Chains A and B, each alone.
Chain A
Amino acid sequence: MWGSFFRMGFRILVRQRKYFLLNLVGLSIGIVAFVFIYLYVENALYYDRSWKNYPHIFRVNETYSTGGKEENMALTPYLLSNKLKDNFPGIIESTRLFFTDPSDKNDVSSVNFQGKMYDIPNLTIGDARIFKIFNYRFTEGNPDSCLLKPNSMVISVAMKQKIFGKNFALGEKLKTSIRTYTVTGVFDRKNRPSHLDFDAVISTNSLDKLEQKQLNTNWFWMNCYTYIELADSVDAGNLMRRINYLTDTAIGHYIKKQNFKIGGYIHLSLQPIQDIHFSQELLYDSHSNINITYLYIFIIVAFFILLMASINYVNFATARSLKRAREIGVRKVIGAFRKQLMVQFISESLIITFSAFILSLSLVELMIPAFNNLVNRQITLVDSLFSGSGLVFGFLLIAFMLLLALFSGSFPAFVISSLEPVEVLGGRGVVFKGKKPYSFTAIGLRKFLVVIQYFVAIGVITSTFIIFAQIHYVKNLPLGFVKKNIVVVNRPADTSFRGRVKGFVEALKSDSAIEQVATASNLPGYLIGKLLLRTGDSSSAHLQTMNGFFVGYHYFDVLKIPFVAGKDFSSFKKNDSTEYFILNQTAVKSLRLEHPLGSFLYTPSAKKGLVVGVVKDFKFSSLHQKVEPLVFVLSPHFVQYVVLRINPAKRHEALSHLQTVWGKFNKGYTLYYTFLDNKLDSLYRSDQKMLSLFSYFSLFVLLISALGLFGLSSFLIEQRTREISIRKVLGGSEKQIVLMLVKEYVALVLVAGILVSPVVYFFTKKWLSSFAYHIHLNVCYFVAGIGLVLLIAFVTVLLQALFMVRKRLAEALKYE
Chain B
Amino acid sequence: MIETKQLKKVFRSSDIETVALAGINLRVEEGEFVSVMGPSGCGKTTLLNLLGMIDTATSGNYRFMGKDVFQLSEKQITRMRKQNIGFVFQNFNLIEELSILENIELPLIYQGVKKSERKKRVMEVIDRLEITHRKDLLPVQLSGGQQQRVAVARAIVTCPRLLLADEPTGNLDSMHGEEVMNILDELNKEGMTIVMVTHSHHDASYSRRIVHLFDGQIINENLNRI
List A401-449 residues whose CB lies under 8 Å from chain B: 427-429, 431, 435, 437, 439-440
B140 touches which of A431, A723, A733, A810 (Cβ 8 Å): A431
The proximity string for B residues 22-56 relative to A, scoring 1 for CB distances below 8 Å and 0 otherwise, is: 00000000000000000000000100010010110
Q: From residue B153, how far is it (CB to closest CB) to chain A in Å?
A: 12
Query: Are A723 and B52 in contact, CB atoms less than 8 angstroms apart?
Result: no
- Given A723-B96, A809-B54, A810-B55, A729 and B140 contact (CB-CB distance below 8 Å): no
Query: Are B95 and A726 in contact, CB atoms less than 8 angstroms apart?
Result: yes
- Given A729-B87, A731-B81, A428 and B55 contact (CB-CB distance below 8 Å): no
> Beyond A728-B78, A729-B52, A734-B74: 11 further Cβ-contacts under 8 Å?
A428-B139, A437-B96, A723-B96, A725-B93, A726-B93, A727-B110, A730-B82, A731-B111, A810-B49, A810-B55, A813-B54
Contacts of A427 in B (CB 8 A): 91
Q: From residue B79, how far is it (CB to closest CB) to chain A in Å?
A: 8
Closest chain A residue to B50, Cβ basis = A810
B residues contacting A by CB (< 8 A) are 45, 49, 52, 54-55, 74-75, 78, 81-83, 87, 89-91, 93-97, 106-107, 110-111, 138-141, 154, 158
User: Top 9 nearest A-B pairs by Cβ distance?
Assistant: A731-B82, A810-B55, A731-B110, A815-B91, A730-B107, A428-B140, A809-B54, A429-B96, A732-B110
Query: Are A435 and B78 in contact, CB atoms less than 8 angstroms apart?
Result: no
A437 touches which of B45, B94, B140, B154 (Cβ 8 Å): B140
Q: From residue B145, how far is it (CB to closest CB) to chain A in Å?
A: 13
Contacts of A211 in B (CB 8 A): none
Query: Are B95 and A727 in contact, CB atoms less than 8 angstroms apart?
Result: yes
Kindly count the residue-residue contacts between A and B in the assembled complex, taking CB atoms under 8 Å apart. 71
Query: Are B93 and A733 in contact, CB atoms less than 8 angstroms apart?
Result: no
Query: Are A729 and B81 in contact, CB atoms less than 8 angstroms apart?
Result: yes
- Report the bound CA distance from A810 to B90 in whole Å: 13
- Report the bound CA distance from A810 to B94 in whole Å: 15
Most chain B C-beta atoms within 10 Å of own C-beta, residue among A437, A439, A816: A437
- Given A429-B140, A733-B78, A810-B49, A727 and B106 contact (CB-CB distance below 8 Å): yes
Contacts of B110 in A (CB 8 A): 727, 730-733, 736
Can you list 29 residue pairs at the A/B interface with Cβ under 8 Å?
Answer: A428-B139, A428-B140, A429-B139, A431-B140, A435-B140, A437-B96, A437-B138, A439-B97, A725-B93, A726-B93, A726-B95, A727-B95, A727-B110, A728-B78, A730-B82, A730-B154, A731-B82, A731-B83, A731-B110, A731-B111, A731-B158, A734-B78, A736-B110, A808-B55, A809-B54, A813-B49, A813-B54, A815-B91, A816-B91
A509 at the interface (CB under 8 A from B): no
- Report the bound CA distance from A541 to B212 in whole Å: 119
Query: Are B140 and A813 in contact, CB atoms less than 8 angstroms apart?
Result: no
A132 at the interface (CB under 8 A from B): no
- Report the bound CA distance from A440 to B78 in whole Å: 30
A729 touches which of B45, B54, B75, B139 (Cβ 8 Å): B54
- Given A723-B95, A729-B52, A731-B81, A435 and B141 contact (CB-CB distance below 8 Å): yes
Q: From residue A93, how far is it (CB to closest CB) to chain B in Å?
A: 76
Contacts of A726 in B (CB 8 A): 93-95
A554 at the interface (CB under 8 A from B): no
A residues contacting B by CB (< 8 A) are 427-429, 431, 435, 437, 439-440, 722-723, 725-734, 736, 808-810, 813-816
Contacts of A431 in B (CB 8 A): 140
Contacts of B140 in A (CB 8 A): 428-429, 431, 435, 437
- Report the bound CA distance from A226 to B105 in whole Å: 83
Q: From residue A72, how far is it (CB to closest CB) to chain B in Å?
A: 65
- Report the bound CA distance from A429 to B106 in whole Å: 20
Query: Are A730 and B106 in contact, CB atoms less than 8 angstroms apart?
Result: yes
Contacts of B54 in A (CB 8 A): 729, 809-810, 813
- Report the bound CA distance from A810 to B77 in whole Å: 14
Closest chain B residue to A728, Cβ basis = B78
- Report the bound CA distance from A730 to B95 in whole Å: 11
A809 touches which of B55, B95, B111 (Cβ 8 Å): B55
Contacts of B95 in A (CB 8 A): 723, 726-727
Q: From residue A206, how far is it (CB to closest CB) to chain B in Å?
A: 83
Contacts of B75 in A (CB 8 A): 733
- Report the bound CA distance from A150 to B178 in whole Å: 116
Q: From residue B164, how far is it (CB to closest CB) to chain A in Å?
A: 10
Q: From residue A256, how far is it (CB to closest CB) to chain B in Å?
A: 91
Query: Are B78 and A731 in contact, CB atoms less than 8 angstroms apart?
Result: yes
- Report the bound CA distance from A440 to B81 in whole Å: 31
Q: From residue B93, how far is it (CB to closest CB) to chain A in Å?
A: 5
Q: From residue B205, how far is it (CB to closest CB) to chain A in Å?
A: 26
- Report the bound CA distance from A813 to B45 in whole Å: 11
Contacts of A729 in B (CB 8 A): 52, 54, 81, 87, 93
Closest chain A residue to B55, Cβ basis = A810
- Report the bound CA distance from A815 to B197 in whole Å: 15
Contacts of A816 in B (CB 8 A): 91
Contacts of A814 in B (CB 8 A): 91
- Report the bound CA distance from A728 to B138 in whole Å: 20
Q: From residue B107, how far is it (CB to closest CB) to chain A in Å?
A: 4
- Report the bound CA distance from A816 to B91 in whole Å: 8
- Report the bound CA distance from A747 to B71 in whole Å: 39
- Report the bound CA distance from A431 to B138 in whole Å: 12
Contacts of B83 in A (CB 8 A): 731
- Given A439-B96, A723-B97, A729-B52, A815 and B107 contact (CB-CB distance below 8 Å): no
Contacts of A429 in B (CB 8 A): 96, 139-140
Q: From residue B28, how far is it (CB to closest CB) to chain A in Å?
A: 19
Closest chain B residue to A736, Cβ basis = B110
Q: From residue B196, how far is it (CB to closest CB) to chain A in Å?
A: 17
- Report the bound CA distance from A221 to B158 in whole Å: 95
Contacts of A723 in B (CB 8 A): 95-97
Contacts of A437 in B (CB 8 A): 96-97, 138, 140
- Report the bound CA distance from A439 to B141 in whole Å: 14
Query: Are A813 and B78 in contact, CB atoms less than 8 angstroms apart?
Result: no
Q: From residue B46, how far is it (CB to closest CB) to chain A in Å?
A: 8
Contacts of B138 in A (CB 8 A): 437
Contacts of A725 in B (CB 8 A): 93
Q: From residue B68, how far is it (CB to closest CB) to chain A in Å?
A: 20
Q: From residue A429, how far is it (CB to closest CB) to chain B in Å?
A: 5
Contacts of A813 in B (CB 8 A): 49, 54, 89, 91, 93
Closest chain A residue to B95, Cβ basis = A723
Contacts of B74 in A (CB 8 A): 734
- Report the bound CA distance from A728 to B49 in whole Å: 14
Query: Are A722 and B93 in contact, CB atoms less than 8 angstroms apart?
Result: yes
Q: From residue A781, how far is it (CB to closest CB) to chain B in Å?
A: 37
Q: From residue B144, how far is it (CB to closest CB) to chain A in Å?
A: 9
Contacts of A810 in B (CB 8 A): 49, 54-55
- Report the bound CA distance from A732 to B158 in whole Å: 14
- Report the bound CA distance from A500 to B82 in whole Å: 94
- Report the bound CA distance from A814 to B46 in whole Å: 10
Closest chain B residue to A811, Cβ basis = B55
Most chain B C-beta atoms within 10 Å of own C-beta, residue among A729, A731, A810: A731
- Report the bound CA distance from A813 to B54 in whole Å: 9
Q: From residue B139, how far is it (CB to closest CB) to chain A in Å?
A: 8
Contacts of B106 in A (CB 8 A): 727, 730, 732
- Report the bound CA distance from A734 to B82 in whole Å: 13
- Report the bound CA distance from A731 to B179 in whole Å: 27
- Report the bound CA distance from A726 to B87 in whole Å: 10
B107 touches which of A722, A731, A734 (Cβ 8 Å): A731
Contacts of B55 in A (CB 8 A): 808-810
Q: From residue B83, how far is it (CB to closest CB) to chain A in Å?
A: 8
Closest chain A residue to B9, Cβ basis = A810
- Report the bound CA distance from A815 to B75 in whole Å: 26
Closest chain B residue to A810, Cβ basis = B55
Closest chain A residue to B93, Cβ basis = A726
Closest chain A residue to B98, Cβ basis = A723
Closest chain B residue to A722, Cβ basis = B93
- Report the bound CA distance from A728 to B77 in whole Å: 11
Contacts of B89 in A (CB 8 A): 813
- Report the bound CA distance from A393 to B157 in whole Å: 65
Query: Are B78 and A815 in contact, CB atoms less than 8 angstroms apart?
Result: no
Contacts of B96 in A (CB 8 A): 429, 437, 439, 723
